Chains A and B, each alone.
Chain A
Amino acid sequence: EAGVTQFPSHSVIEKGQTVTLRCDPISGHDNLYWYRRVMGKEIKFLLHFVKESKQDESGMPNNRFLAERTGGTYSTLKVQPAELEDSGVYFCASSPVGQGSEKLFFGSGTQLSVL
């Protein structure tokens, strides 16, 4: 069974540019989460999808961040325009709804560096 995959693994962009991160959850997992970890700090929640619906986007820093999950399968997180403070590792995680929902399966993350 394929795990959660994220693409790209690394991205280096200049301030003001646009970047789109992609996450493919485990097939059948309706819960999809985006988190971000800034160097050495806690993993901070960004948002949560159930299928294609945004259940909670309270962690999104500002309107430069846009997440989508069309069709309830893969998700994208776009940052436009990127700022220096957006640098960090962006993690995606998935889980089934109901039984087993508490155990999250993580991708290996996208390391974003904004210069």
Chain B
Amino acid sequence: GNSVTQMEGPVTLSEEAFLTINCTYTATGYPSLFWYVQYPGEGLQLLLKATKADDKGSNKGFEATYRKETTSFHLEKGSVQVSDSAVYFCALGPSGGSYIPTFGRGTSLIVHP
């Protein structure tokens, strides 16, 4: 079945540091890939997505590229802010006969001033 592996957190950075959160996946077929973000006290919300190989999703300074050859979708940001502190979830859309979106374990990001 489909699965997502994310790096364990927490990831702790100083403001303006470079961020990478790794995500790899196993899937039947070619699902769309997503990053969701959960700010404290809120529900998950879509951050960005990519629908096919080599697509780059981007939003709010975050980027991730759909890499079919390495089955990866790593999240990056060049300069993080304190307000980026949240939990980030990598996810697969439905594929290969599975109609259910699949989520990773989430990676907590803590950004210090």
- With A103-B46, A106-B45, A108-B43 known as contacts, the answer to whether A42 contacts B99 (CB < 8 A) is no
- Chain A residues lying within 8 Å of B100, measured Cβ to Cβ, are 33, 45, 48, 56, 59
* Alpha-carbon distance between A107 and B44 when the two chains are bound, in angstroms: 7
Q: Which residue of A lies closest to B44 (CB)?
A: A106
- Chain B residues lying within 8 Å of A59, measured Cβ to Cβ, are 100
**A104 in the interface, Cβ–Cβ < 8 Å?**
yes
* Alpha-carbon distance between A88 and B67 when the two chains are bound, in angstroms: 33
CB distance from B102 to the nearest CB of A (A): 7
Q: How large is the interface on B (under 10, 10 to 19, 20 to 34, 35 or more residues)?
A: 20 to 34
* Alpha-carbon distance between A44 and B32 when the two chains are bound, in angstroms: 18
- Looking at B36, B41, B103, B106, which has the most chain A CB atoms within 10 Å of its CB? B103
Chain B contact residues, majority secondary structure: loop
Within 8 Å by CB of B101, from A3, A55, A104, A108, lies A104
* Alpha-carbon distance between A55 and B98 when the two chains are bound, in angstroms: 11
* Alpha-carbon distance between A103 and B44 when the two chains are bound, in angstroms: 11
Interface size of A by CB at 8 A reads 26
- With A4-B43, A91-B44, A106-B45 known as contacts, the answer to whether A43 contacts B94 (CB < 8 A) is no
* Alpha-carbon distance between A100 and B64 when the two chains are bound, in angstroms: 20
Q: A56-B99, A104-B44 are in contact. List 16 more A-B contacts (CB 8 A).
A: A37-B106, A40-B105, A40-B106, A42-B103, A42-B105, A43-B104, A48-B100, A55-B99, A59-B100, A91-B43, A102-B49, A102-B101, A104-B46, A104-B101, A108-B42, A109-B43
